[in-house]
């Protein structure tokens, strides 16, 4: 169980980075459900009753659908999102911030763990966020609450694994009254992890783009 922090793990640059956020963070979860059919109410009720009356095979079950009661069909659509706000600054020097490729207290383009200027930490994080494919390939993973395998906690959560997520937005702001603290706001959406399918789609798009460029080049005369 992970309750004192949330952890973002990213695969990019042929390496893996870990960014830990602890302390005054406020996680918020939201679930939106998109129904295949929903809110049709009296229209569906009337059509169903008429179809039942005209059904010579008696396949349709004999049921009374009340008026003004919506008819819904849930095919699994919707969104599960996570919003986090966390302050990172003084007292967070022990949290990992990158791939640990630099010495503690120093920074390079991949890591800023330790006592490093908050602006440098921000820039390192945002470079990773800009490069990572946060999609169903599973290259962005969120460890939070019961969604942990125990890597960053004393024991695994009840789900035994992190959440594969897509990053929807990230924002960093320096506190006006404290230049040593940067406030971060993230919004993530849970995704289905299907790495093979994502790789195939990416390759198909890349090949299609290359073909389009080549065809365009054939149409442009040489001067």
Quick check: 5 and 14 in contact, CB under 8 A?
no
Residue 180 lies in a domain: yes
Q: What integer pLDDT is reported at residue 140 of this predicted model?
A: 97
Q: What integer pLDDT is reported at residue 6 of this predicted model?
A: 94
Matching residue, tokens 């095979």: 57
Residue 165 lies in a domain: yes
CA angle, corner 142, sides to 137 and 146, nearest 5? Answer: 125
Residue 132 lies in a domain: yes
Residue 173 lies in a domain: yes
| Domain that residue 163 falls in | 2-32+76-198
100: left (phi over 0), alpha (psi -120 to 50) or beta: left
Matching residue, tokens 């906690």: 153
> Which residue from 185, 192, 199 is spatially nearest to 163, judged by alpha carbons?
192
Residue 90 lies in a domain: yes
Q: What integer pLDDT is reported at residue 78 of this predicted model?
A: 87
Q: What integer pLDDT is reported at residue 43 of this predicted model?
A: 57
Matching residue, tokens 């005209």: 54
The pTM for the full model equals 0.77
Q: What integer pLDDT is reported at residue 76 of this predicted model?
A: 81
The tens-digit pLDDT sequence of the chain (223 residues) is 888 899 999 999 999 999 999 866 778 899 998 877 766 555 555 555 555 554 444 544 555 666 666 667 787 888 999 999 999 987 788 999 999 999 999 999 999 999 999 999 999 999 999 999 999 999 999 999 999 999 999 899 999 999 999 999 999 998 788 878 899 999 999 999 887 755 565 555 555 555 555 665 565 555 5
Residue 208 lies in a domain: no
Residue 212 lies in a domain: no
Say how many domains are in the chain.
1
Residue 153 lies in a domain: yes
């Amino acid at each position: 169980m992970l309750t004192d922090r949330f952890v973002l793990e990213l695969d990019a640059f042929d390496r893996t980075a870990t960014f830990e956020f602890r302390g005054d963070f406020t996680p918020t979860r939201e679930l939106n459900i998109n129904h295949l059919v929903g809110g049709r109410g009296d229209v569906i009720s009337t059509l169903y009753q008429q179809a039942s009356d005209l059904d010579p095979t008696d396949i349709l079950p004999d049921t009374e659908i009340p008026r003004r009661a919506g008819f819904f069909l849930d095919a699994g659509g919707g969104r599960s999102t996570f919003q986090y706000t966390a302050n990172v600054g003084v007292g967070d020097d022990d949290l990992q911030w990158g791939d640990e490729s630099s010495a503690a207290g120093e920074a390079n383009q991949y890591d800023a763990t330790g006592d490093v200027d908050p602006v440098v930490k921000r820039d390192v994080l945002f470079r990773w966020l800009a490069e990572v494919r946060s999609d169903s390939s599973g290259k962005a993973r969120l460890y939070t609450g019961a969604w942990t395998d125990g890597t960053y906690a004393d024991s695994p959560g009840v789900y035994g694994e992190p959440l594969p997520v897509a990053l929807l937005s990230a924002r960093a702001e320096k506190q006006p009254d404290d230049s040593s603290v940067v406030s971060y706001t993230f919004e993530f959406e849970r995704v289905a992890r299907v790495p093979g399918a994502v790789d195939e789609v990416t390759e198909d798009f890349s090949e299609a783009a290359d073909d389009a460029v080549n065809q365009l080049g054939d149409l442009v005369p040489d001067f």
